[in-house]
Amino acid sequence: MLLFSRLVLIEVGMGKAQNFNPSSLDMLRSGRRSDPLVAGLCVIVSTAGKKTWTYRRRIAKSGVIVQLTLGTYPANTIPDAREWATGLNAAVERGEDPRVAMRIEEARKTQTVAKAHAIYMEAMRRGDRKVLKPRTLYDKDVIFTRDIDPRLGKRSLIELTENECWDAVYDKAKASKVRANKMAGELSCFLRWCSGREGRMAGIELTAHPAPTLNSNWFCTGPKANKRFLNEDELGWLFQALVDEERSYRRGFILLLLTAARRNELFGARASEMADGVWTLPPERSKNGEANYVALGPWGRSLAQTNQKWLFASPRIDGPHLFGWFKARDRVHSRMERFAGMEVPRWHFHDLRRTFRSHARRIGIDRDIAELMLNHKRKGLEGIYDRNMEFGLRAKGFAAWEEFLVAIASKAGVASELDAPL
Protein backbone atom coordinates (compact mmCIF):
# COMPACT_ATOMS: atom_id res chain seq x y z
CA MET A 1 0.00 0.00 0.00
CA LEU A 2 2.82 2.39 0.91
CA LEU A 3 4.64 1.63 -2.34
CA PHE A 4 1.44 2.31 -4.27
CA SER A 5 1.05 5.74 -2.59
CA ARG A 6 4.58 6.73 -3.50
CA LEU A 7 4.04 5.74 -7.11
CA VAL A 8 0.88 7.82 -7.21
CA LEU A 9 2.72 10.89 -5.86
CA ILE A 10 5.50 10.46 -8.41
CA GLU A 11 2.97 10.16 -11.21
CA VAL A 12 1.11 13.28 -10.01
CA GLY A 13 4.41 15.24 -9.84
CA MET A 14 5.39 14.10 -13.30
CA GLY A 15 1.99 15.10 -14.56
CA LYS A 16 2.34 18.57 -13.15
CA ALA A 17 5.85 18.87 -14.53
CA GLN A 18 4.58 17.85 -17.95
CA ASN A 19 2.09 20.73 -17.71
CA PHE A 20 5.03 23.14 -17.26
CA ASN A 21 7.00 22.81 -20.44
CA PRO A 22 7.44 24.95 -23.55
CA SER A 23 4.46 23.37 -25.30
CA SER A 24 2.12 23.92 -22.38
CA LEU A 25 3.27 27.49 -21.85
CA ASP A 26 2.89 28.23 -25.55
CA MET A 27 -0.72 27.08 -25.32
CA LEU A 28 -1.41 29.14 -22.16
CA ARG A 29 -3.79 31.96 -23.10
CA SER A 30 -4.84 33.48 -19.76
CA GLY A 31 -4.39 33.34 -16.01
CA ARG A 32 -1.22 32.07 -14.39
CA ARG A 33 0.70 28.84 -14.09
CA SER A 34 3.06 28.01 -11.22
CA ASP A 35 6.22 25.98 -11.62
CA PRO A 36 5.72 22.68 -9.74
CA LEU A 37 9.47 22.23 -9.25
CA VAL A 38 10.62 25.68 -8.11
CA ALA A 39 8.73 27.41 -5.31
CA GLY A 40 7.53 30.95 -5.95
CA LEU A 41 8.04 30.89 -9.74
CA CYS A 42 5.10 31.35 -12.09
CA VAL A 43 4.09 32.67 -15.48
CA ILE A 44 1.35 35.31 -15.65
CA VAL A 45 -0.50 36.06 -18.87
CA SER A 46 -1.69 39.65 -19.35
CA THR A 47 -4.93 40.63 -21.08
CA ALA A 48 -2.85 41.37 -24.18
CA GLY A 49 -1.47 37.84 -24.12
CA LYS A 50 2.02 38.80 -22.88
CA LYS A 51 3.58 36.09 -20.68
CA THR A 52 5.77 37.33 -17.83
CA TRP A 53 7.95 35.45 -15.34
CA THR A 54 7.09 36.43 -11.78
CA TYR A 55 8.46 35.39 -8.42
CA ARG A 56 6.43 35.74 -5.22
CA ARG A 57 7.25 34.22 -1.87
CA ARG A 58 6.96 35.08 1.83
CA ILE A 59 10.04 35.16 4.05
CA ALA A 60 9.51 33.01 7.12
CA LYS A 61 9.10 34.75 10.50
CA SER A 62 9.45 38.28 9.11
CA GLY A 63 6.32 37.98 6.98
CA VAL A 64 7.88 40.08 4.24
CA ILE A 65 6.64 39.18 0.77
CA VAL A 66 9.24 39.21 -1.98
CA GLN A 67 7.79 39.92 -5.40
CA LEU A 68 10.04 40.29 -8.45
CA THR A 69 9.76 40.11 -12.21
CA LEU A 70 12.35 38.58 -14.51
CA GLY A 71 11.00 39.34 -17.96
CA THR A 72 8.89 37.76 -20.66
CA TYR A 73 8.57 34.22 -21.94
CA PRO A 74 9.92 32.86 -24.30
CA ALA A 75 12.66 35.52 -24.32
CA ASN A 76 13.61 34.03 -20.94
CA THR A 77 13.40 30.24 -21.16
CA ILE A 78 12.19 27.86 -18.45
CA PRO A 79 15.78 26.90 -17.42
CA ASP A 80 16.70 30.61 -17.25
CA ALA A 81 13.70 31.38 -15.05
CA ARG A 82 14.34 28.40 -12.77
CA GLU A 83 17.97 29.35 -12.29
CA TRP A 84 16.91 32.91 -11.42
CA ALA A 85 14.20 31.77 -8.97
CA THR A 86 16.46 29.15 -7.36
CA GLY A 87 18.92 31.89 -6.42
CA LEU A 88 16.10 33.93 -4.88
CA ASN A 89 14.85 30.89 -2.94
CA ALA A 90 18.30 30.32 -1.45
CA ALA A 91 18.20 33.79 0.11
CA VAL A 92 14.55 33.50 1.23
CA GLU A 93 15.19 30.16 2.91
CA ARG A 94 18.08 31.76 4.84
CA GLY A 95 15.61 34.36 6.06
CA GLU A 96 17.13 37.09 3.88
CA ASP A 97 15.45 39.48 1.48
CA PRO A 98 17.19 38.97 -1.89
CA ARG A 99 16.19 42.47 -2.96
CA VAL A 100 18.66 43.94 -0.46
CA ALA A 101 21.60 42.19 -2.11
CA MET A 102 20.24 43.19 -5.53
CA ARG A 103 20.07 46.85 -4.51
CA ILE A 104 23.63 46.71 -3.20
CA GLU A 105 24.86 45.13 -6.43
CA GLU A 106 23.00 47.69 -8.50
CA ALA A 107 24.53 50.49 -6.45
CA ARG A 108 27.97 49.00 -7.03
CA LYS A 109 27.37 48.89 -10.77
CA THR A 110 26.15 52.49 -10.89
CA GLN A 111 29.05 53.73 -8.72
CA THR A 112 31.06 55.66 -11.28
CA VAL A 113 34.66 56.74 -10.90
CA ALA A 114 33.50 60.36 -10.57
CA LYS A 115 30.99 59.55 -7.79
CA ALA A 116 33.56 57.51 -5.89
CA HIS A 117 36.16 60.28 -6.25
CA ALA A 118 33.73 62.81 -4.76
CA ILE A 119 33.40 60.55 -1.69
CA TYR A 120 37.19 60.16 -1.63
CA MET A 121 37.76 63.93 -1.67
CA GLU A 122 35.23 64.46 1.14
CA ALA A 123 37.25 62.04 3.27
CA MET A 124 40.51 63.76 2.30
CA ARG A 125 39.14 67.18 3.27
CA ARG A 126 37.89 65.85 6.61
CA GLY A 127 41.32 64.40 7.30
CA ASP A 128 39.90 61.17 8.76
CA ARG A 129 43.29 59.48 8.84
CA LYS A 130 45.74 62.21 7.84
CA VAL A 131 45.32 65.96 7.50
CA LEU A 132 46.47 67.04 4.04
CA LYS A 133 47.83 70.44 3.13
CA PRO A 134 45.49 72.78 1.25
CA ARG A 135 47.87 72.72 -1.72
CA THR A 136 47.77 68.90 -1.81
CA LEU A 137 43.96 68.91 -1.82
CA TYR A 138 43.98 71.52 -4.58
CA ASP A 139 46.39 69.45 -6.69
CA LYS A 140 44.25 66.33 -6.27
CA ASP A 141 41.17 68.21 -7.46
CA VAL A 142 43.00 69.70 -10.45
CA ILE A 143 44.52 66.39 -11.59
CA PHE A 144 41.15 64.62 -11.41
CA THR A 145 39.15 67.40 -13.07
CA ARG A 146 41.71 68.07 -15.80
CA ASP A 147 43.09 64.61 -16.60
CA ILE A 148 41.15 61.71 -15.02
CA ASP A 149 37.48 62.73 -15.14
CA PRO A 150 37.24 63.46 -18.90
CA ARG A 151 38.57 59.97 -19.68
CA LEU A 152 37.37 57.71 -16.84
CA GLY A 153 34.84 59.70 -14.81
CA LYS A 154 31.73 58.03 -16.24
CA ARG A 155 33.13 54.49 -16.08
CA SER A 156 31.70 52.05 -13.53
CA LEU A 157 34.21 51.75 -10.71
CA ILE A 158 33.84 47.97 -10.32
CA GLU A 159 34.18 47.43 -14.07
CA LEU A 160 37.29 49.59 -14.42
CA THR A 161 40.23 47.59 -15.77
CA GLU A 162 43.98 47.96 -15.59
CA ASN A 163 44.21 48.33 -19.36
CA GLU A 164 41.73 51.22 -19.33
CA CYS A 165 43.77 53.03 -16.67
CA TRP A 166 47.06 52.55 -18.50
CA ASP A 167 45.55 53.52 -21.86
CA ALA A 168 44.37 56.79 -20.34
CA VAL A 169 47.80 57.46 -18.83
CA TYR A 170 49.64 56.68 -22.07
CA ASP A 171 47.30 58.95 -24.06
CA LYS A 172 48.03 61.74 -21.59
CA ALA A 173 51.77 61.12 -22.01
CA LYS A 174 51.46 62.06 -25.69
CA ALA A 175 50.82 65.62 -24.55
CA SER A 176 52.87 65.70 -21.33
CA LYS A 177 54.82 62.96 -19.57
CA VAL A 178 54.94 65.03 -16.40
CA ARG A 179 51.14 65.26 -16.29
CA ALA A 180 50.88 61.56 -17.18
CA ASN A 181 53.05 60.64 -14.17
CA LYS A 182 50.96 62.82 -11.88
CA MET A 183 47.78 61.33 -13.32
CA ALA A 184 49.03 57.78 -12.72
CA GLY A 185 50.08 58.59 -9.16
CA GLU A 186 46.79 60.23 -8.21
CA LEU A 187 44.70 57.53 -9.91
CA SER A 188 46.60 54.80 -8.06
CA CYS A 189 46.24 56.61 -4.72
CA PHE A 190 42.49 57.04 -5.25
CA LEU A 191 41.89 53.42 -6.30
CA ARG A 192 44.01 52.09 -3.42
CA TRP A 193 41.84 54.08 -1.00
CA CYS A 194 38.63 52.78 -2.61
CA SER A 195 39.76 49.15 -2.34
CA GLY A 196 41.01 49.53 1.23
CA ARG A 197 39.40 49.72 4.64
CA GLU A 198 38.65 53.45 4.40
CA GLY A 199 36.84 53.00 1.10
CA ARG A 200 34.70 50.18 2.48
CA MET A 201 33.88 52.25 5.54
CA ALA A 202 32.72 55.02 3.18
CA GLY A 203 30.38 52.60 1.40
CA ILE A 204 32.53 51.89 -1.66
CA GLU A 205 32.54 48.19 -2.51
CA LEU A 206 35.71 47.67 -4.53
CA THR A 207 37.22 44.31 -3.66
CA ALA A 208 40.66 44.90 -5.20
CA HIS A 209 42.80 47.62 -6.74
CA PRO A 210 42.05 47.32 -10.48
CA ALA A 211 45.41 48.75 -11.58
CA PRO A 212 48.09 48.06 -8.93
CA THR A 213 50.94 48.61 -11.42
CA LEU A 214 50.19 52.33 -11.89
CA ASN A 215 53.38 54.26 -11.15
CA SER A 216 53.91 57.99 -10.72
CA ASN A 217 57.49 57.65 -12.00
CA TRP A 218 56.66 55.54 -15.06
CA PHE A 219 57.79 58.04 -17.69
CA CYS A 220 61.26 59.53 -17.66
CA THR A 221 60.90 63.31 -17.56
CA GLY A 222 64.57 64.25 -17.42
CA PRO A 223 66.65 65.47 -14.49
CA LYS A 224 64.65 66.49 -11.44
CA ALA A 225 67.04 68.93 -9.83
CA ASN A 226 67.06 72.46 -11.24
CA LYS A 227 70.19 74.42 -10.36
CA ARG A 228 69.38 77.60 -12.26
CA PHE A 229 69.80 80.93 -10.47
CA LEU A 230 70.57 84.45 -11.68
CA ASN A 231 74.05 85.85 -11.12
CA GLU A 232 74.73 89.55 -10.56
CA ASP A 233 75.09 90.31 -14.28
CA GLU A 234 71.82 88.55 -15.05
CA LEU A 235 70.08 90.42 -12.22
CA GLY A 236 71.31 93.68 -13.75
CA TRP A 237 69.93 92.70 -17.16
CA LEU A 238 66.67 91.67 -15.49
CA PHE A 239 66.27 95.10 -13.89
CA GLN A 240 67.04 96.82 -17.19
CA ALA A 241 64.49 94.62 -18.96
CA LEU A 242 61.80 95.46 -16.38
CA VAL A 243 61.93 99.18 -17.09
CA ASP A 244 59.80 98.82 -20.23
CA GLU A 245 57.43 96.24 -18.72
CA GLU A 246 53.86 97.10 -17.66
CA ARG A 247 53.87 98.40 -14.07
CA SER A 248 51.76 95.57 -12.62
CA TYR A 249 54.14 92.92 -13.94
CA ARG A 250 57.18 95.02 -13.02
CA ARG A 251 55.95 95.24 -9.42
CA GLY A 252 55.37 91.48 -9.39
CA PHE A 253 58.84 90.48 -10.59
CA ILE A 254 60.62 92.84 -8.20
CA LEU A 255 58.49 91.78 -5.21
CA LEU A 256 59.14 88.14 -6.08
CA LEU A 257 62.85 88.87 -5.82
CA LEU A 258 62.55 90.96 -2.64
CA THR A 259 60.32 88.45 -0.79
CA ALA A 260 61.84 85.23 -2.24
CA ALA A 261 58.24 83.98 -2.25
CA ARG A 262 56.49 81.35 -4.28
CA ARG A 263 54.68 82.75 -7.30
CA ASN A 264 51.10 81.81 -6.36
CA GLU A 265 51.61 82.78 -2.73
CA LEU A 266 52.58 86.33 -3.69
CA PHE A 267 50.31 86.90 -6.69
CA GLY A 268 47.30 85.49 -4.81
CA ALA A 269 47.84 87.74 -1.77
CA ARG A 270 45.17 90.06 -0.42
CA ALA A 271 46.21 93.62 0.30
CA SER A 272 45.16 93.09 3.93
CA GLU A 273 48.04 90.62 4.35
CA MET A 274 50.41 93.60 4.13
CA ALA A 275 50.46 95.55 7.39
CA ASP A 276 53.12 97.80 8.96
CA GLY A 277 55.73 96.76 6.44
CA VAL A 278 55.24 93.03 7.12
CA TRP A 279 53.61 90.56 4.75
CA THR A 280 51.92 87.77 6.69
CA LEU A 281 51.31 84.72 4.53
CA PRO A 282 48.45 82.76 6.19
CA PRO A 283 48.96 79.01 6.70
CA GLU A 284 46.00 78.07 4.49
CA ARG A 285 47.78 79.60 1.50
CA SER A 286 51.25 78.39 2.39
CA LYS A 287 52.69 75.32 0.68
CA ASN A 288 53.88 73.79 3.96
CA GLY A 289 50.78 74.81 5.93
CA GLU A 290 52.70 77.23 8.16
CA ALA A 291 52.43 81.02 8.28
CA ASN A 292 55.35 83.05 6.98
CA TYR A 293 56.37 86.58 7.90
CA VAL A 294 58.27 88.75 5.43
CA ALA A 295 59.65 92.07 6.65
CA LEU A 296 59.71 94.47 3.71
CA GLY A 297 62.33 97.15 3.27
CA PRO A 298 61.65 100.64 1.83
CA TRP A 299 61.57 99.36 -1.77
CA GLY A 300 59.25 96.49 -0.95
CA ARG A 301 56.91 98.73 1.08
CA SER A 302 56.53 101.22 -1.75
CA LEU A 303 55.81 98.46 -4.29
CA ALA A 304 53.30 96.76 -1.98
CA GLN A 305 51.14 99.88 -1.61
CA THR A 306 47.75 99.53 -3.29
CA ASN A 307 44.16 100.73 -2.89
CA GLN A 308 42.81 97.48 -4.28
CA LYS A 309 41.41 94.47 -2.42
CA TRP A 310 44.19 92.31 -3.84
CA LEU A 311 47.91 93.00 -3.90
CA PHE A 312 47.76 92.27 -7.64
CA ALA A 313 44.16 92.86 -8.69
CA SER A 314 42.89 91.25 -11.85
CA PRO A 315 41.87 93.75 -14.56
CA ARG A 316 38.97 91.49 -15.59
CA ILE A 317 37.44 89.87 -12.51
CA ASP A 318 37.06 90.50 -8.79
CA GLY A 319 40.06 88.45 -7.79
CA PRO A 320 43.85 88.24 -7.91
CA HIS A 321 45.80 88.65 -11.13
CA LEU A 322 47.07 85.10 -11.67
CA PHE A 323 47.35 84.96 -15.45
CA GLY A 324 49.67 86.52 -18.00
CA TRP A 325 52.80 86.17 -15.90
CA PHE A 326 54.48 83.56 -18.09
CA LYS A 327 54.08 85.68 -21.22
CA ALA A 328 55.48 88.64 -19.27
CA ARG A 329 58.41 86.47 -18.20
CA ASP A 330 59.10 85.62 -21.85
CA ARG A 331 59.03 89.30 -22.82
CA VAL A 332 61.43 90.16 -20.02
CA HIS A 333 63.76 87.32 -20.97
CA SER A 334 63.91 88.52 -24.58
CA ARG A 335 64.87 92.02 -23.43
CA MET A 336 67.51 90.57 -21.11
CA GLU A 337 69.19 88.91 -24.10
CA ARG A 338 69.16 92.22 -25.99
CA PHE A 339 70.84 94.02 -23.10
CA ALA A 340 73.31 91.16 -22.64
CA GLY A 341 74.11 90.94 -26.33
CA MET A 342 74.12 87.17 -26.10
CA GLU A 343 71.91 84.21 -25.31
CA VAL A 344 70.76 84.06 -21.68
CA PRO A 345 69.64 80.68 -20.27
CA ARG A 346 65.91 80.58 -19.62
CA TRP A 347 64.71 80.84 -16.05
CA HIS A 348 61.50 80.07 -14.19
CA PHE A 349 59.74 81.91 -11.38
CA HIS A 350 61.00 79.43 -8.80
CA ASP A 351 64.56 80.21 -9.89
CA LEU A 352 64.14 83.64 -8.29
CA ARG A 353 63.80 81.90 -4.90
CA ARG A 354 66.92 79.92 -5.70
CA THR A 355 68.63 83.19 -6.66
CA PHE A 356 68.05 84.54 -3.17
CA ARG A 357 69.25 81.34 -1.51
CA SER A 358 72.38 81.23 -3.68
CA HIS A 359 73.40 84.80 -2.79
CA ALA A 360 72.32 84.73 0.87
CA ARG A 361 75.65 83.58 2.35
CA ARG A 362 77.59 86.19 0.34
CA ILE A 363 75.62 89.03 1.92
CA GLY A 364 75.96 87.69 5.45
CA ILE A 365 72.70 85.77 5.95
CA ASP A 366 73.11 82.64 8.05
CA ARG A 367 72.07 79.36 6.48
CA ASP A 368 69.32 78.63 9.02
CA ILE A 369 67.94 82.16 8.77
CA ALA A 370 67.86 81.92 4.97
CA GLU A 371 65.83 78.70 5.25
CA LEU A 372 63.36 80.41 7.58
CA MET A 373 63.09 83.35 5.17
CA LEU A 374 62.13 80.86 2.43
CA ASN A 375 59.55 79.33 4.79
CA HIS A 376 61.21 75.92 4.61
CA LYS A 377 60.37 73.60 7.48
CA ARG A 378 63.09 72.54 9.84
CA LYS A 379 63.74 68.82 9.59
CA GLY A 380 64.18 66.02 12.12
CA LEU A 381 64.70 66.74 15.80
CA GLU A 382 65.54 70.35 15.05
CA GLY A 383 62.06 70.82 13.62
CA ILE A 384 60.52 69.31 16.74
CA TYR A 385 62.48 71.17 19.41
CA ASP A 386 63.63 74.43 17.80
CA ARG A 387 60.48 76.52 17.43
CA ASN A 388 62.17 79.94 17.56
CA MET A 389 61.11 81.82 14.40
CA GLU A 390 63.94 84.41 14.69
CA PHE A 391 61.80 87.31 13.43
CA GLY A 392 64.46 89.90 14.17
CA LEU A 393 67.21 88.09 12.27
CA ARG A 394 64.86 87.42 9.38
CA ALA A 395 64.01 91.13 9.15
CA LYS A 396 67.73 91.95 9.04
CA GLY A 397 68.15 89.33 6.33
CA PHE A 398 65.42 90.81 4.13
CA ALA A 399 66.92 94.28 4.63
CA ALA A 400 70.36 93.04 3.56
CA TRP A 401 68.86 91.30 0.53
CA GLU A 402 67.06 94.47 -0.54
CA GLU A 403 70.23 96.53 -0.20
CA PHE A 404 72.04 93.98 -2.38
CA LEU A 405 69.37 94.22 -5.10
CA VAL A 406 69.20 98.03 -4.94
CA ALA A 407 72.97 98.18 -5.46
CA ILE A 408 72.66 96.00 -8.57
CA ALA A 409 69.79 98.14 -9.94
CA SER A 410 71.87 101.29 -9.31
CA LYS A 411 74.90 99.76 -11.05
CA ALA A 412 72.65 98.94 -14.02
CA GLY A 413 71.53 102.59 -14.06
CA VAL A 414 67.81 101.89 -13.63
CA ALA A 415 67.22 102.30 -9.89
CA SER A 416 65.19 105.49 -10.26
CA GLU A 417 63.09 104.06 -13.14
CA LEU A 418 62.21 101.09 -10.92
CA ASP A 419 61.36 103.32 -7.92
CA ALA A 420 64.22 101.86 -5.91
CA PRO A 421 65.40 103.97 -2.92
CA LEU A 422 68.70 105.70 -3.63
* 282 prior amide bond cis, ω within 30: no
| In-domain check, residue 140 | yes
Query: If we measure between CA atoms, which residue out of 247, 244, 226 comes closest to residue 353?
Result: 226
Q: Write down which residue in 68, 98, 128 finishes a domain.
A: 98
Q: Give the predicted TM-score (pTM) of the model.
A: 0.58
Q: Taking residues 192-221, what's their average pLDDT?
A: 89
Query: With 50 as the cut, is the pLDDT of residue 295 above it?
Result: yes
Beta bridge partners of 278: 275, 295
Separation between Cα atoms, residue 321 and residue 189, nearest integer Å = 33
44 touches 51 (CB < 8 A): yes
Q: State which residues form the domain around 148.
A: 111-202
Query: With 90 as the cut, is the pLDDT of residue 387 above it?
Result: no
Segment 116-161, tens digit of pLDDT: 999 999 999 998 888 888 888 999 999 999 999 999 999 999 889 9
pLDDT at 202: 87
| In-domain check, residue 209 | no
247 and 343 in a single domain? The answer is: yes
84 and 117 in a single domain? The answer is: no
| In-domain check, residue 2 | no
292 and 384 in a single domain? The answer is: yes
271 and 393 in a single domain? The answer is: yes
pLDDT at 8: 37
User: What DSSP designation does 376 have?
Assistant: P
Separation between Cα atoms, residue 65 and residue 79, nearest integer Å = 24
Provide the pLDDT confidence category of residue 6 given band limits of 50, 70 and 90: very low
186 and 300 in a single domain? The answer is: no
User: What DSSP designation does 132 have?
Assistant: P
Segment 308-364, tens digit of pLDDT: 999 999 988 889 999 999 999 999 999 999 999 999 999 999 999 999 999 999 999
256 and 369 in a single domain? The answer is: yes
Element (H or E) spanning 53, and its range? strand 51-58
Query: With 90 as the cut, is the pLDDT of residue 15 above it?
Result: no
Provide the pLDDT confidence category of residue 108 given band limits of 50, 70 and 90: low
55 and 91 in a single domain? The answer is: yes
Separation between Cα atoms, residue 264 and residue 142, nearest integer Å = 15
| In-domain check, residue 250 | yes
Beta bridge partners of 222: none
Query: With 80 as the cut, is the pLDDT of residue 220 above it?
Result: yes
| In-domain check, residue 139 | yes
Considering only residues 95 and 9, tell me which one the structure prediction assigns the higher pLDDT. 95
Considering only residues 203 and 248, tell me which one the structure prediction assigns the higher pLDDT. 248
pLDDT at 99: 84
Segment 296-306, tens digit of pLDDT: 999 999 999 99
> 68 — phi, psi (to 5°)?
-140, 155
pLDDT at 88: 92
262 and 165 in a single domain? The answer is: no
237 and 155 in a single domain? The answer is: no
Query: With 70 as the cut, is the pLDDT of residue 233 above it?
Result: yes
| In-domain check, residue 59 | yes
Instruction: Give the 3-state secondary structure of 133-151.
Output: CHHHHHHHHHHHHHHHHHH
Angle, vertex CA 285, rays to CA 131 and CA 249, nearest 5 = 155
pLDDT at 2: 41
236 and 288 in a single domain? The answer is: yes
Number of separate domains in the chain = 3
36 and 124 in a single domain? The answer is: no
Share of the chain above pLDDT 70, in %: 91
Provide the pLDDT confidence category of residue 10 given band limits of 50, 70 and 90: very low
Instruction: Give the CATH number of the domain where residue 299 resides.
Output: 1.10.443.10
| In-domain check, residue 340 | yes
Instruction: Give the CATH number of the domain where residue 44 resides.
Output: 3.30.160.390
239 and 338 in a single domain? The answer is: yes
| In-domain check, residue 1 | no
pLDDT at 365: 95
